[in-house]
Chains A and B, each alone.
Chain A
Amino acid sequence: MRDELFIYVIIFSTLFGTITYAAVLVWFERRLLGFWQDRHGPNRVGPFGIGLAFADILKLLSKEDWVPPFSDKFIFIFAPTTVMIAMLMGFAVVPFAPGIYIADLNIALLFFLGMTSLAVYSVLLGGLASRNKYALLGGLRSAAQMVSYEVFMGLSVMGVVMLSGSFSLVDIVNAQQDLWFVVSQFLGFFVFLIAGIAETHRLPFDLPEAEHELVAGFHTEYSGMKFGMFMLGEYLGVILISSIMTTIFFGGWLGPDFLPPIFWFALKTFILICFFVLLRAAIPRPRYDQLMSLGWKVMLPLTLINLMATGGILLWLETLS
């Protein structure tokens, strides 16, 4: 058994590490976007402009903590904390390397799905509590979008569960010794990726906050650190979805021996994050109803086909042996 102190160390470093990573990611994304968009991005504060990440945090923390007088005050403050908490909780089940994880639950995957679902509340509640028409529209959109994409997200990983025979993320990684699930479960991966973007509501699926339509959507009325928490929650979500994707489709920490496992995990996650940024730089935003029909008319059938095929092949293999 792992001793208690070790677990505390991991909890602390996960908390500290992910939040710092999320803050730095804001800077990193802007640099990367700048690179792809023929411009510089933030490059003045500190080496490569990395100081901007910390300057941003300082700015957000020192801003006036304003709650609009017309809003529903308790929920207005409660909403942004939900997303932070839910996303951070999600990291509890991520196995970074053999032995380096907070908890190896036997329902880890379900736990992750549950936590990301909780994050929907923050968007919905934030939108409702603001008592602002743009925020309301954003909140409504996000409720519809996230609830529907949740369905495929859950279903898309079931193929992996069938193949590995477990909900535990550690077991899932171990089941990929020979072949990453991204190969055998490509459809599942594809749907999970799309649903993951929708879940973190980033471009092209940023309809709840679609700047060009709804100003800032559900967080129109938010400023200061409460806005910061939404922002941080979004980036934590990106990191979380990327780490889970690494874990269940790209063999987690598995990799050639010349580097430590945790490095492989970090590298794979990092590449996936870059892919998220690239998507943002490249793809336009579909209309809300187009997004919904894509979900129900394309994604759902794809997921079901994937499930049936996986199940069928598994049964067939069983009858063979």
Chain B
Amino acid sequence: MAAVIDAADNDLVGELVAKFPGIAFIEQQTFDDFPTLWVSRDKLQSVLTYLKQECAFEMLFDLCGVDERTRVNKENLPETDFTVVYHLVSFTRYRDIRLKVALLESACELPSIIALWPNANWYEREAWDMFGIVFTGHPNLSRILLPATWQGHALRKDHPARATEQEPFELTEERQDKEQEAMRFKPEDWGMKRKNEHTEFMFLNLGPNHPSVHGAFRIILQLDGEVIVDAVPEIGFHHRGAEKMGERQTWHTYIPYTDRIDYLAGVMNNLPYVMCIEKMAGITVPDRAKVIRIMLAELFRVASHLVFYGTFVQDVGQMSPVFYMFSDRERLFGIIEAITGARMHPSWFRIGGVAQDLPEGWEKLVRDFVDWMPKRMDHYHKMCMQNSIVKNRCVDIGVFSKAEALDWGITGPGLRATGVDFDWRRDRPYGGYDQFDFEVPVFHKGDVYDRAQVRVEEIRQSLRIIRQCLDNMPAGAYKSEHSLTTPPPRDRTMHDIETLIHHFVNVSWGPVIPAGECSVTIEATKGNNMYYLTSDGGTMSYRTRIRTPSFPHLQQIPLISRGLLIADLIAILAGIDFVMADVDR
């Protein structure tokens, strides 16, 4: 295996082994550059506590389940039917660590860690929803992505993935009534009271279809007048089973699905996915492909942040800027279309490179844009960010501290608005970002206004990166010659049978990626996006875990909206910058 675990990580593992002498840690080899350890269920909490408090692993970055029952390549692994994976990240030490707990089907439960990290709440519900893993001590272990009436656990290997494997769907009157009744909100389920000694609360259903929730998202508000007493965000309306689909698409044909996760970020979603496969398959990407990828990813960051900027000011009631920003975004899509042939979902990155070389004349299009955009940004800054009404609506609204942000799994601009000076691109560079010169905007107040400021400044920095791509675009191949990604050249397939067989197998089955596990995290538009892929040595992924930034961001809404008005909640929602497809996958 190609993984390189450096000395510091070895020290960490050594420290853990020394600290917990009674436990047999099993270190698993993966393609990652950080350790993966198996921990027994009863020691899990003490190890996690130790890692959080003594080793500065501040964030529960991801928590997910894996159904291991049909996995073939399990040598050197503990006996397990279901595995729960805890991925921790340290933003001060720039490290990751992955802990795994093996569970047998007969005793599929383990203690909840909500007391340690509050954002475990939704992740544990998701693991229960998808795998039926029970977290003891969880206050409300109910379905989160699938409807309450769902039968079975969707990501288990014995659950059907296709409509053709199931009974035909029929929405009868009774069924509709049943489904709607299941949607009814009962305050008691959430430990809420219907009234107190002074007042009877109003429960307001904000969503799933409301102009300001940016998609199908429901927040149930407990109101005293217009003051929010408590809130319950409810997600899952946009769930499309993206992770399940990963288990039935070939490595290559899954790429278009990734585009649609954060649908505003286009090819940036392809990036962690293809990089993850490249790591597993040992493919080196040519420099030109790397720079093209970065340029496209940053173009999409600008596009996504422009949507944020426009809808953000629109949500606080300013009507016009969104049109200006969407016109700029149209212009951007014009460039993306000229390069990739598509606009919002180009699915243009490939394992080992990109789909095509840049077209003739791309320099002029990109140069015109990076020359034009900064002036527009100045204009928007005056129009929106310096507007006193916008400031009144956003300053000191929805404040969370650095500690809260880390506890709740907030990443990206939300984290940088609380004073954490961390950007994956600069601090843990991937895909060639270490070659670029840019600044990471950091603000300190942690309110809606600061979150907006971070993004506005990021647009400028992205333009800087794009300009550097433009000025320094390397010559050379736009994709790797590796046999797992590029069909052999035709003149060779016509001459020797071995190459022809390779060609045939790769084209008809798709590439076979070596067995193992790998994860790649990137600084996506809305926060940190991670793909955690498990290959069982086949043409399809065994498990595709997508850690999306918006999921934990929404979970935190009640914390920052209590005691505020509905209008403030709208500003908070606008300031989070989420995409429901990114939450529900």
A residues with a Cβ closer than 8 A to B are 33, 36-39, 133-134, 137, 203-204, 206, 210-215, 280-290
Closest to A39 in B: B323
Would A215 and B210 be within 8 Å (CB), given that A36-B320, A280-B319, A287-B393 are in contact?
A: yes
Shortest CB-to-CB span from A198 to chain B, Å, is: 14
Closest to A280 in B: B319
Asked if B323 contacts A285 (CB within 8 A), the reply is no
9 A-B contact pairs sorted by A residue (CB < 8 Å): A38-B323, A38-B327, A133-B202, A203-B317, A204-B317, A212-B314, A212-B570, A280-B319, A284-B387
Asked if B319 contacts A212 (CB within 8 A), the reply is no
* Stretch from B80-88, B273-281, B560-568 contacting the other chain: B560-568
CB neighbours of B387 from chain A (8 A): 284
CB neighbours of A280 from chain B (8 A): 319
In chain B, positions 298-330 with a C-beta closer than 8 Å to chain A are 313-320, 323-324, 327
Interface centre among A203, A283, A285 (most CB of B within 10 A): A285
Interface centre among B314, B565, B566 (most CB of A within 10 A): B566
CB neighbours of B318 from chain A (8 A): 282-285
Asked if A212 contacts B315 (CB within 8 A), the reply is yes
- Docked Cα-Cα span, A216 to B372, in Å, equals 37
Shortest CB-to-CB span from B222 to chain A, Å, is: 12
Band of interface residues on B: 20 to 34
Asked if A287 contacts B392 (CB within 8 A), the reply is yes
B204 at the interface (CB under 8 A from A): yes
B112 at the interface (CB under 8 A from A): no
Closest to A207 in B: B567
- Docked Cα-Cα span, A212 to B570, in Å, equals 7
In chain B, positions 87-127 with a C-beta closer than 8 Å to chain A are none
Further pairs besides A38-B327, A212-B317: 18, Cβ < 8 Å:
A37-B319, A37-B323, A38-B323, A134-B204, A137-B204, A203-B319, A206-B317, A212-B316, A213-B567, A280-B319, A281-B320, A284-B318, A284-B393, A285-B318, A285-B389, A285-B393, A286-B317, A287-B392
In chain B, positions 186-206 with a C-beta closer than 8 Å to chain A are 202, 204-205
CB neighbours of B315 from chain A (8 A): 212
CB neighbours of A289 from chain B (8 A): 565
Would A213 and B566 be within 8 Å (CB), given that A137-B226, A286-B392 are in contact?
A: yes
Asked if A286 contacts B389 (CB within 8 A), the reply is yes
Asked if A285 contacts B316 (CB within 8 A), the reply is yes
Shortest CB-to-CB span from B307 to chain A, Å, is: 16
Asked if A286 contacts B393 (CB within 8 A), the reply is yes
Would A288 and B323 be within 8 Å (CB), given that A212-B570, A213-B212, A283-B389 are in contact?
A: no
CB neighbours of B489 from chain A (8 A): none
Q: Which of A36, A38, A211, A288 makes the CB contact (< 8 A) with B226? A: A288
CB neighbours of B226 from chain A (8 A): 137, 288
B390 at the interface (CB under 8 A from A): yes
- Docked Cα-Cα span, A210 to B318, in Å, equals 12
Closest to A36 in B: B320
- Docked Cα-Cα span, A281 to B97, in Å, equals 51
Contact code string B550-571 (vs A, CB < 8 Å = 1, else 0) = 0000000000000001111010
Shortest CB-to-CB span from A111 to chain B, Å, is: 33
Asked if A215 contacts B211 (CB within 8 A), the reply is yes
Shortest CB-to-CB span from A229 to chain B, Å, is: 23
- Docked Cα-Cα span, A284 to B384, in Å, equals 9
Closest to B205 in A: A133
CB neighbours of B202 from chain A (8 A): 133
Asked if A287 contacts B319 (CB within 8 A), the reply is no
CB neighbours of A134 from chain B (8 A): 204
Would A285 and B317 be within 8 Å (CB), given that A37-B323, A204-B389 are in contact?
A: yes
- Docked Cα-Cα span, A137 to B393, in Å, equals 19
Asked if B566 contacts A284 (CB within 8 A), the reply is no
CB neighbours of B565 from chain A (8 A): 287-289
Asked if B568 contacts A212 (CB within 8 A), the reply is no
Asked if A284 contacts B212 (CB within 8 A), the reply is no
CB neighbours of B210 from chain A (8 A): 215
CB neighbours of A287 from chain B (8 A): 392-393, 565, 567-568
Interface centre among B212, B318, B319 (most CB of A within 10 A): B319
Would A284 and B323 be within 8 Å (CB), given that A213-B212, A213-B567 are in contact?
A: no
- Docked Cα-Cα span, A287 to B566, in Å, equals 9
- Docked Cα-Cα span, A262 to B393, in Å, equals 43
